[in-house]
Amino acid sequence: MTNIHHGQRECTDLAGALTAFREGAPVVLAPDPRRPGGGCLLVALETLRADALSFARRHTHGLISVLLRDRQQQGIHLFLANDGDASEALEPALAAALPVLLRALAHDPAGAQHLASDVGAPFISLSGAGSLSWPDSEQVVSALASCLGMADAALICSLFDDNGRCLQGDEVAAFATSHGLALLHPDDLDGDEHALPAPRVQRLATSRLPTRHGEFTMHAFSSVVDGAEHAVLVWGDVDGHDEVLVRLHSECLTGDVLGSLRCDCGTQLEMSLSRIAAAPCGVLIYLRGHEGRGIGFSHKVRAYALQDDGLDTVDANVALGLPVDARSFDCAADILLNLGVRSVSLLSNNPRKKAELARAGMPVVRVLSVVPPSNGENVRYLITKKKRMGHDLPFD
């Protein structure tokens, strides 16, 4: 990862650039005098606003490149002007639709395939990986996104004057000043001193969630690592508190929603919410993307079919060539840190969760088991979890 260290140049404004990037406003990147090329504009894709897109279009002759998070996927060139004349406004329908479509790409680079048909030629052309040659800008975008816990994707475009000439040297700083934009230099993002922390999660939205257990505060968090959106239910005041009652619940569609008897997930979810609601404070993190211990829904269904043929839950995953447990709890630790939790009492039968949280910097003071009732369908599964995965369960 490229680290950011605070500016050695009076003219650059790292704090302003971070704020602008977070808010989807343009950041001006000065050219590196050691390399050919002029100045450019960077705008975060995830928070891209219509006014920022139209500003970029106006000052780049309508030639805008979209750097996607997954560099192996395609980058996109947008041509948002006829013959480089970007003085006329975009058609209103396109001006309204485009930021929405582009923002969606921040977490779904593969969706670029559909963008051309959604927006239509001649505005967009797709270009393969590597053909967006912006080495400095790519590094700067990655560092800004990493510092802010945002998706590593942005608009990148060269700055032109009204005569179609690329802005060079001091002209770039003058452009930033005249438009009140933050200016960065590629050297502002190099070296390892004063590195800013790189959170793996971002809090996106908050509301109340009344439930049959009581009223929780619900946050939507997203993972910078894989784009998964997690539901976080907070009970009472956890900020700055120790030994907060915490459940990390891995998503299980069949057990949580459909009443499946094949596993104990739904019961553990209900029991955990009820215990948290009976405590002074607590947190339930509902971890999306954890289906089938991280192998995904369709693989879980395949594993179920193998279990009906006699394999246990561990051997079924192995037979499919998949990990027995592919889940990461790093994001859960970061979410707890973000909420101000100082240490946890963990509601879990799984010793791995305790170890993973502790490794990721969240102390676990104690582990409290959540013992579900067994039934004819899940007793073998529970015994396998005890014998082969070390779960703390009273079944033999």
Binding site for Zn ion (CB under 5 A): 252, 255, 263, 265
Min dist. Cβ of residue 357 to Zn ion (A): 20
**Measured from the CB atom, is 233 or 252 closer to Zn ion?**
252
- Whether residue 29 contacts residue 17, with contact meaning beta carbons closer than 8 Å, is answered with no
Min dist. Cβ of residue 334 to Zn ion (A): 24
**Measured from the CB atom, is 157 or 263 closer to Zn ion?**
263
Burial class (CB in 10 A: 0-12, 13-18, 19+), 180: exposed
Min dist. Cβ of residue 101 to Zn ion (A): 35
Min dist. Cβ of residue 228 to Zn ion (A): 17
**Measured from the CB atom, is 13 or 264 closer to Zn ion?**
264
Min dist. Cβ of residue 327 to Zn ion (A): 12
> What is the layout of strands, in order, in the sheet containing 27-29?
124-127, 75-79, 63-67, 154-158, 40-44, 27-29, 182-184
**Measured from the CB atom, is 255 or 282 closer to Zn ion?**
255
Instruction: Report the catalytic residues.
Output: 325, 327
**Measured from the CB atom, is 146 or 267 closer to Zn ion?**
267
